Structure 1
Amino acid sequence: MLATAVLPRLAYGQQGRDPASQELTEMRISMTFDGRTMTATLYDNPSARDFFSMLPLDLTIEDFSNNEKIAHLPRKLTEEGSGPFGNERPYDLCYFIPWGNLAMFYADYRHPGLIRLGRFDEGYEALHVRGEFPLRVEAIS
């Protein structure tokens, strides 16, 4: 019984934290496109820290499916110590492992290949604007 309680925690890396229960950090970002600015707070995981270290970035944001926008990063993020989560919600900022892109959800979603990087705080209504636009991503704290 003890082994089943301990083994899943070890699978999440040396820190022993479940990625689904990660805490938000002081790492905040702004994302600007089409004259609109969104802000997000990043989670405490290696993938989010790696993303934050890449800023500022100039990317392209585009529609994908009927519930998200995506933006391709210049390189893949680290996945070590990050992992799946089960409490998906609209306005999550995620990293899609197979393609190495950002995924910004504005409606319900579920996909096993995601790492949650953060949550949008303000301006997330901009995600509903259809089209492809230049995107500027910057650190704000």
Structure 2
Amino acid sequence: MDKTVQQILLLLTVSSMFLTACNSRNNEENTSSEESLTIHQNSKEGVTADESNNGDSQDSTLNHEGSDEMEDIRIKLTFNNEEVIVNMDDNPTSKDFLSLLPLTLTFEDYAGTEKISYPSNELSSEEAPSGIDPTVGDFTYYAPWGNLAIYYKDFGYSNGLIKLGEIESGIENLENLNGDFAVIIEKMD
């Protein structure tokens, strides 16, 4: 009987050591994740990692000198002898998308609300908000799935949705399209 008790005690000791080690690792991962989140949030606010870790952080702003300013950049979507004109927003995701143009993509309807397509490259989500509440005419990128989405009906807030631009003309050309359709996307002069 003594041998059985010793085996049980040994098993309990090894199990408790394993659980303690796992819990310690989870705490380290949680602490690391929290620090990363704090640094990411502070970087969005213009605070560097060094400033966030010491008590005397100062207000600072991100330096955008020398960045490529986008003013009145528009793209044209051409399909079925129709056109849609989109006025692009000035953000890193939009710039990344523009660098891929010209493109020919196949769009399809999704949920009777939006037309979607999957470009071959994922776009940057740098400096992107956590999500947006799209409105009719928004030209967007849904980062979790890696797809473009053009809203022709209202939709609720979506995490991971990034606005690339807004349709300035031709939204009516999208609403009644059924099935898949090819779209040529190019910058306008």
TM-score over 0.5 (shorter chain): yes
1:26 is paired with a residue of what secondary structure? coil
Deviation at 1:34, TM superposition (A): 1.5
Deviation at 1:131, TM superposition (A): 1.9
Residues of 1 paired with 2:179 and 2:187: CA distance? Answer: 24
Q: Which amino acid aligns with 1:101?
A: N
Aligned partner of 2:126 in structure 1 is: 80
Output the TM-score relative to the length of structure 2.
0.62
* CA RMSD in angstroms, aligned pairs only: 2.2
C-alpha contact 1:60 1:133 (8 A) present in aligned 2: yes
C-alpha contact 1:38 1:123 (8 A) present in aligned 2: yes
C-alpha contact 2:131 2:160 (8 A) present in aligned 1: no
Aligned partner of 1:119 in structure 2 is: 166
Q: Which amino acid aligns with 2:182?
A: P
Aligned partner of 1:21 in structure 2 is: none
Aligned partner of 2:185 in structure 1 is: 137
Residues of 1 paired with 2:145 and 2:132: CA distance? Answer: 20
Structure 2 residue runs without a partner (length 5+): 1-38, 47-60, 63-69
Percent sequence identity over aligned pairs: 34
Deviation at 1:86, TM superposition (A): 4.3
Q: Deviations along 1:58-116, whole A, 9 cap, x unmatched?
A: 11011111100001101100011122354531110000111111000001112112000
User: Are residues 1:28 and 2:60 paired?
Assistant: no
Deviation at 1:10, TM superposition (A): 3.8
Residues of 2 paired with 1:97 and 1:68: CA distance? Answer: 15
Larger radius of gyration: 2
Equivalent residues in 2 for 1:1-141, closer than 5 Å: 10=42, 12=44, 14=46, 25-110=71-156, 111-128=158-175, 129-141=177-189
C-alpha contact 1:42 1:118 (8 A) present in aligned 2: yes
Distance 1:58 1:109, change over 3 A: same
Higher relative contact order (CA 8 A, sep 6+): 1
Alignment: residue pair count:
128
Distance 1:79 1:98, change over 3 A: same
C-alpha contact 1:56 1:139 (8 A) present in aligned 2: yes
C-alpha contact 1:62 1:133 (8 A) present in aligned 2: yes
Residues of 1 paired with 2:133 and 2:109: CA distance? Answer: 23
Structure 1 residue runs without a partner (length 5+): 1-6, 17-23
Q: Which amino acid aligns with 1:47?
A: T
Distance 1:109 1:46, change over 3 A: same
